[in-house]
Structure 1
Amino acid sequence: MTPEQIIRKFFKEVRLGKKPDYSNQLMAEQVIAHQIVSEEEQTVLRTPKDYADHVREMIKAYGNFSLEIQELLADGNKVYVRWKQIGTHVGEIDGYKPTGLPVIQMASAVYRIENEKISEYWIQIDRLGIQKQLVQTL
């Protein structure tokens, strides 16, 4: 599979929550994850199991959410993806009790593929946008 095909399959099967455990087929045993939190870069190691658990947490918080890839660009072994995720606030998110209202998440990431598996990624999520949606519901 090409890097683009790997990422499309990752989003369709794993990230969308259809088959979270399929992450072990598409991710290296240890993935370097670069995340922006409060304008600070944090780097953590993720395993396919960690990621599957993360997806399950999203399902608890957002229900069966939809995810639309708005842009996907591939260059060599790197793939850039920008997406829009829409869910319903059915579970606690960052201390905010469920409201049953829609929550939209905008995010983008660059994934590096090595040996036909995701080995590293850089992700940015509009966390303030999510927080503002949750605060407006109080």
Structure 2
Amino acid sequence: MAGPSAAEDVVRGFLRDVRSGRHPDRAGRYPAPRVEAAQGRPGAVRAVVRRAPERYAEHVREMLRTAGPWLFQVTGVIDTGGQVEAPWRQTGTAREGPRVVEHGSAGHTVREGRTTRYWIEFHQETRPAGPAADAAARRSHPTRERSP
């Protein structure tokens, strides 16, 4: 059985290191010098921005300053031959607020070992923070534990 494709490795590394908030300074390893980022799947795009790796790193740092740390779980990575898609679940607690769970997905186009374009879509839900709420979240939204 074949292992992950090189494109999958790029996407897994980016999500594990950068998007997770663990090492935003590693943003230069994965994307091309300019990346087109679309909010929404192709055909349903709501906004497009162009980012350099250092701007994406700053974007992640700003999210950390605003929302605080989070748990980021990639629930699968699928190489469709032209794009690598990766659904995720992000859980955190808003500063002095409720627990926030974000379910999202991204599709990355990888060329010559670098992401050149990606789209994201997500939705958020809020829940009271605490162990009972965490247990209820696991029951209602089970995730397949799969490392990025």
Tell me the TM-score normalized by structure 2.
0.74
- Per-residue deviation, 1:40: 5.5
What secondary structure is seen at the aligned counterpart in 2 of 1:71? coil
Separation (CA, whole Å) in 2 of partners of 1:75 and 1:35: 20
- Alignment of 1:121 onto 2:123: no
* Correspondence for 2:103: 106
- Alignment of 1:60 onto 2:57: no
- Per-residue deviation, 1:21: 1.6
Q: Per-residue CA shift, 1:43-94, capped at 9, x if unaligned?
A: 111111111011112212332211111121112241101100001102xxxx
Separation (CA, whole Å) in 2 of partners of 1:40 and 1:30: 19
Letter in 1 for 2:116: S
Structure-2 change in CA distance of 1:77 and 1:21 (3 Å): farther
Letter in 1 for 2:108: Y
Aligned residues: 122
Larger radius of gyration: 2
Structure-2 change in CA distance of 1:40 and 1:117 (3 Å): closer
Separation (CA, whole Å) in 2 of partners of 1:5 and 1:77: 14
Which residues of structure 2 form unaligned runs of 5+?
Answer: 130-148
Which residues of structure 1 form unaligned runs of 5+?
Answer: 91-97
Aligned-pair RMSD on alpha carbons? Answer: 2.1
What secondary structure is seen at the aligned counterpart in 1 of 2:75? strand
Separation (CA, whole Å) in 1 of partners of 2:84 and 2:45: 23
* Correspondence for 2:81: 76
Contact 1:77/1:114, CA 8 A, preserved across alignment: no
Structure with greater strand share of residues? 1
What secondary structure is seen at the aligned counterpart in 2 of 1:21? helix
* Correspondence for 1:26: 30
Separation (CA, whole Å) in 2 of partners of 1:44 and 1:30: 10
